[in-house]
Amino acid sequence: MSPGLDRLLAERKLIKARTTRAMVSKELEAAESDLRDARGSLVAGNAKWATIQGYYSMFHAARALLYDAGYREKSHSALLAAVKHLYARKLGPRLIDSFRDAMDLREEADYNLKFSNESAGSIVEGAQAFLDAVKGLLNYRP
């Protein structure tokens, strides 16, 4: 185990948990639904909601990875850190960075009302790539 993962566990930001394949599937279904909704919001010109929904697609896909590994997170930042420690090599830096950027942009949209069509489109594209990679890693077939 990596020192970063050990620290998350020691600080109880990440916990070992009994998880099931059904939990993993439910998260992936939520990720797909949020991505569909994000695309619809983008087409409708609602960049704020496209940003938020695109991020949550990535959030649920990341949570599926964590559940598959037998963990549960206690916060959004702990989820990102855990995915980075557990899956950085398999996902690659581009997808990890995309998840982190989406998290930051979602916070800006949600709390500071700062968003744009360009950043929303970028999140939606990133969410699709992230979800595709996660489904591939988990051999997910609905």
- pTM value? 0.95
Q: In Å, what is the CA distance from 9 to each residue of 20, 44, 71, 100, 121?
A: 20, 42, 10, 20, 35
* CB 83 within 8 Å of CB 29: no
Looking at this protein, which amino acid is placed at residue 59? F
Domain ranges within the chain, ordered by starting residue: 3-11+18-137
Angstrom distance (rounded) from CA 128 to CA 142: 16
Q: Check if CATH label 1.10.1840.10 holds for domain 3-11+18-137.
A: no
Angstrom distance (rounded) from CA 41 to CA 36: 9
Angstrom distance (rounded) from CA 4 to CA 7: 5
Structure token pair of residue 18: 């009994």
pLDDT in tens, the chain (142 residues): 688 899 999 999 999 999 999 999 999 999 999 999 999 999 999 999 999 999 999 999 999 999 999 999 999 999 999 999 999 999 999 999 999 999 999 999 999 999 999 999 999 999 999 999 999 999 987 6
**pLDDT, position 11:** 95
